[in-house]
Amino acid sequence: MIAQDQTYTADKLVALVRAYNPRTNEALLRTAYAFGEEMHSGQFRQSGEPYFTHPIAVAAILASQQMDDATIITALLHDTIEDTKASYKDVETLFGHDVAELVDGVTKLTNIQLTSTQSKQAENFRKLFMAMSRDLRVILVKLADRLHNMRTIKSMRAEKQAQKARETMDIYAPLAGRMGMQWMREELEDLAFKVLNPEARNSIMRRFIMLQKETGDVIPKITADMRIELEKANIQADVYGRAKKPYSIWRKMQEKDQGFSRLSDIYGFRVITQTEADCYKVLGAIHQRWRAVPGRFKDYISQPKSNGYRSIHTTVSGRDGKRVEVQIRTREMHEVAEAGVAAHWSYKNGERVENRFAVDPVRWIAQLTERLDQEDDHHEFLEAVKLEMYQDQVFCFTPKGDVIKLPRGATPIDFAYAIHTRIGAKCVGAKVDGLRVPLWTRLKNGQSIEIIIADGQKPEVTWIDIAVTGRAKAAIRRALRAEDRERFIKLGRELARVAFENVGKKATDKALSTAAKTLVLEDVDELLAQLGSAEITSREVVRAIYPELAERKGEEVDTSRAVVGLSGDQSYRRAPCCQPVPGERIVGITFRGQGVVVHAIDCQALADFEDQAERWIDLHWQDGVHSAVNTVTLDMTISNDAGVLGRICTIIGEQDANISDLNFIDRKPDFFRLYIDVDLRDVEHLHRVMTALEAESNVSAIKRLRDPRRGAKAKEDRT
């Protein structure tokens, strides 16, 4: 258990330490307690409590991590040199050189504003970091100190709360995570999140409570399910479950650009085994029972992290289709996972234990500082230290030494646009640490990037897929749109002609001018350019003038009743992953409050619902003539020659089909690959259109696009 805030007398604190270390120097602990209490006498915290309650709480946090006597004593004394009349010599005389050095190291860290980059403060940070490399317990005490301050932050002024919370989020939480103390990182992040964005945190908490009311507490249910499977496999293990912290949930929402209702893996489970072999047996048992989520498996047992962390991570679709993350490890691995680098000092049954998985702190800090201690510039050193703390961002350097912060996965294209839009637009290549690399190279922390430019260069279409940052993507799209405007206008005119002819009208200049005014566009050219670049659809243009024709339905079959097998109050929609059309065998999947989603019987996305038979509905299409309102996406590769695209549009129009959208996927000197959304009546109509297109010599490949990922996204939207 992690010690929460409470009042500890000397007797209680000694008892807490003795529980895991019977050989503790009780007399020295009591002396440190008395000395700290005397030095802080008459001092009070912002909350009005005696100040010494803070060092006691810090000591209790470290005792809960089963730290050695020197660390506990340092916690009790960590503010004495800074805030009282006690001197370094006093502490050294009473408690020895090691404790005095530890207290002095914590004092130096406390005096440094880590969010500043002034030369003096950077140099102080450098000295402290080097001191930390001599004894890592300095930072352990400081992390516990920051944790207690964040737990009691409400008594501070609002601006001070924001400063401390930001510093915690930027420096201390990532540092705790880097050291393997994940529980501390999560708590520090959540406490800082509570200060920096209380509305977002409260919103997540409210939604989580609502979810529990709707579904009940699923944690004990899933835990019980796992225990049953492990018993069947004759595996002895402990299973624990928990909901993820609000900040962790919020960060996932930001990273995936999803709302709370679309997040599925908000529960985490740990399975603690007796042996390493059992870890893999547990993995097999879980994967046999539940479907594993592709791309979410990591084996940190065979490939441990640098801080000693070992565990197997997997994500499965559990009860009711909810995704749950499962971590599997042995008891020894779990101790390191909880304590991180601090596991080196841990006690067990009164003895200092040698956990074979605990990383040597001296070796670990040496690896961390190997390249940092060679920096001569104070500013570069401070930034270099910070970049080592971050896990979700990349810090790279310009040739002049300026630091550019980018999201993980960023490329030289992102780096170039981060410097200046003009540099990005003229980029023709990049050097990373002096070596020429492709523009799609993923940048890493600490690399030096040199962008090679040329005056004649312009942004290329493929850069959109290479870039990661919104700034780069937006700039590339603007440049491409300006360059391709004339071509888009020509394409838009052809699309408009086909769309208007499909409803028995002509795309005259007057009609197009009227459509532009209705859609609040500047002029006809802007209308055609947006139509050609797929920013608006041909259906929208036709609807602007002839709404009754654009929405015209078939006479024989009402589209609202095109599917047979639904109850009177059920609505339906076609699944975007398989886009079923009349004439194909179909099945329905129910979604609470969202009606029924209709899939083709051979849709790969149906595998996700194999264990939920109660949600399946047997459906079929209504007999008769259906309206051409069923959109199907065609994946086509065509020759990059003059007039080819216009000919394709004409062929589709000749088959009484309407193009509702068009999107270029790839442009090469000799071919285009594009997705065309075509509105069709039924499967026979689809086959007729595809046959006509296949007969065109300039069409090198055509297929119906069926993408299970579209189905997964739609499922997340509704669950």
Q: Is residue 591 part of a domain?
A: yes
How many whole angstroms separate alpha carbon 38 and alpha carbon 526?
79
- Both 19 and 153 in one domain: the answer is yes
CATH of the domain at 707: 3.30.70.260
Tell me what the mean pLDDT of segment 202-209 comes to: 80
Q: Are 636 and 676 in contact (CB under 8 A)?
A: yes
CA separation for the pair 253, 246 (Å, rounded): 11
- The helix (H) or strand (E) run that includes residue 678 is strand 671-680
In which band, very low, low, confident or very high, does the pLDDT at 556 lie, cut at 50, 70 and 90?
A: low
**Closest CA relative to residue 253, chosen from 262, 244, 245:** 262
Residues 221 and 181 in one domain: no
Q: Is residue 322 part of a domain?
A: yes
Q: Give residue-wise pLDDT tens across range 380-428.
A: 445 445 544 444 567 788 888 777 878 778 999 999 998 998 999 999 9
pLDDT at 369 over 70: no
Q: What pLDDT shows up at residue 187? A: 92
Look at residues 455, 482, 509 and tell me which one is the last residue of a structural domain. 482
CA-wise closest residue to 365 among 310, 306, 304? 306
Q: Are residues 317 and 399 in the same domain?
A: no
Contacts of 610 by beta carbon, 8 Å cutoff, 6+ apart: none
Domain identity same for 152 and 227: no
Q: What total of structural domains would you count in the chain?
A: 4
From its phi and psi, is residue 685 left (phi > 0), alpha (psi between -120 and 50) or beta? alpha
Query: Can you give the pLDDT at residue 717?
Result: 46
Gap between the Cα atoms of 266 and 12, Å rounded: 37
| CA distances (Å), origin 359, targets 102, 272, 336, 440 | 21, 20, 9, 35
Residues 426, 330 share a domain: no
Residue 457, domain extent: 392-482
User: Catalytic residue positions?
Assistant: 82-83
Domain assignment of residue 553, yes or no: no
The band of 471, judged by pLDDT with boundaries at 50, 70 and 90, is: confident
Between CA 122 and CA 473 the distance in angstroms is 35
pLDDT band for position 117 (cuts 50, 70, 90): very low
Kind of pairing between the strands at 267-273 and 323-330: parallel
Of 482, 501, 523, the position where a domain reaches its end is: 482
Q: Do residue 165 and residue 219 come from a single domain?
A: no
pLDDT value at residue 351: 56
Q: Is residue 357 part of a domain?
A: no
pLDDT in tens, 268-288: 899 999 999 999 999 999 999
- Under a CB-based contact definition with an 8 Å cutoff, are residues 633 and 675 in contact? yes
What pTM was estimated for this model as a whole? 0.51
Mean pLDDT for the stretch of residues 310-329:
83
- Is 80 exceeded by the pLDDT of residue 613? no
What is residue 631's predicted lDDT score, i.e. its pLDDT?
92
The separation between the first and the last C-alpha atoms of the chain, rounded to the nearest angstrom, is 35
Q: Pick from 438, 437, 393: which is nearest to 418 by CA?
A: 393
**What's the CATH code of the domain at 52?**
1.10.3210.10
